Amino acid sequence: MLLFSGLRSESAPGRLSKAQPDDPFIAYVKGESIFTGIGKLTSSYYHSTEQEWKDGLYPHRVKLEINLDFDNGVDVRSLIDKLGFITDKSHWFVFFRGGVKKIPYSDFEIIKASIEKQKEKSKLLTDTTKTATSADETKGLPEIASGMGIREKILSIPELTSSSLHDRLAEMIHVVGLRMGYDSVQKYKTIQDSPYQIDVVWLQNKNPQIAIEIHHGGVLGDALHRLSHARDFNFRKVVLVIVEPEDHRRALDLLKFDEKLKHVIDLWSTKSVFDMYTSCISFYRLYSKFEESLYKQEPDKNLA
């Protein structure tokens, strides 16, 4: 993706004046406090009075190339202790004021590695979700009759301890979060006296990442209010799991006018949660077997 970047100040080009083609850079979204992509410059500094943006003229410019990925952004607060250019850790936000910032290359490498790790983790989860759960892949999973509906399948999984469908869905998402390396928490409150309790959240180093609500009965607007509250506390993404299919259209109608949520929310079905859970469990059972160290007199006669 080829973009322009510019500074509004007429007085001086600032750090852009030293920009050169192929210089690396990282995109940071101030309002979200996340790093969202790695790119490179495709031009050196130049001055232009041709207006490219609706909100005003930014005459000091460079051209750049980047693919922004808001879904896999890295929260700056998870890296504060590692970044050298943030010298006052308790007031980290002041180091992101203004326009272009120059940082040590070592800090660039730390941020780059975190973004790439986040993308790999997301890709792994997506791949396991898409994988069909064949008989071999689900070896060791509970026997679930193929003729059952999704609800019956979920309620028949013996590893889950919850009794209701709502709580079992929350438990499945909680387990997947733990398997994927998140600090997964059920019935989460953003602050101790908060009136809102979120069904499941995924954290990284105590920093908010994903908030999940399961809507099964009750008032749909209340579930959306809880997710909106999660956004106020910097969760980068929110997910609403809809149990009753007829609630899907109602959710779309409500979100149509909700500027805070509609760009960051995903709507999931119970089947999608079930597929993600079974694929994740299957993958990790095979992975654990692949990774384990075990002394043998001779190789197994049959392939695993």
Task: Give the pLDDT confidence score for residue 76 in this predicted structure.
Answer: 87
Task: Give the pLDDT confidence score for residue 205 in this predicted structure.
Answer: 86
Alpha-carbon distance values, 124 to 78, 121, 130, 192 (Å): 21, 5, 10, 34
For residue range 84-104, what is the model confidence (pLDDT) as tens digits? 999 998 888 888 887 778 888
Fold of 2-119: ph1033 like fold (3.10.590)
| Res. 134: pLDDT tops 70 | no
Task: Give the pLDDT confidence score for residue 4 in this predicted structure.
Answer: 42
**What's the CATH code, domain 140-291?**
3.10.640
Share of the chain above pLDDT 70, in %: 83
Assessment of whether the complete model's pTM goes beyond 0.85: no
| Res. 175: pLDDT tops 50 | yes
Helix axes 247-255, 220-232, angle to 10 degrees: 40
Greater confidence (61 vs 181) lies with 181
Collect all residues with Cβ–Cβ distance below 8 Å to 37 and sequence separation of at least 6: 26, 27, 66, 67, 68, 69, 115
Query: Is-same-fold flag (2-119; 140-291)?
Result: no
Greater confidence (3 vs 122) lies with 122
Task: Give the pLDDT confidence score for residue 49 in this predicted structure.
Answer: 79
> What is the residue extent of each domain of the chain?
2-119, 140-291
- Three-state SS at 109: helix
**Mean pLDDT computed over 19-45:** 85
**Mean pLDDT computed over 107-113:** 90
Average pLDDT, the chain: 82
| Res. 6: pLDDT tops 60 | no
For residue range 266-290, what is the model confidence (pLDDT) as tens digits? 999 999 999 999 999 888 888 877 8
For residue range 214-266, what is the model confidence (pLDDT) as tens digits? 999 889 999 999 999 999 999 999 999 999 988 999 999 999 988 889 889 99
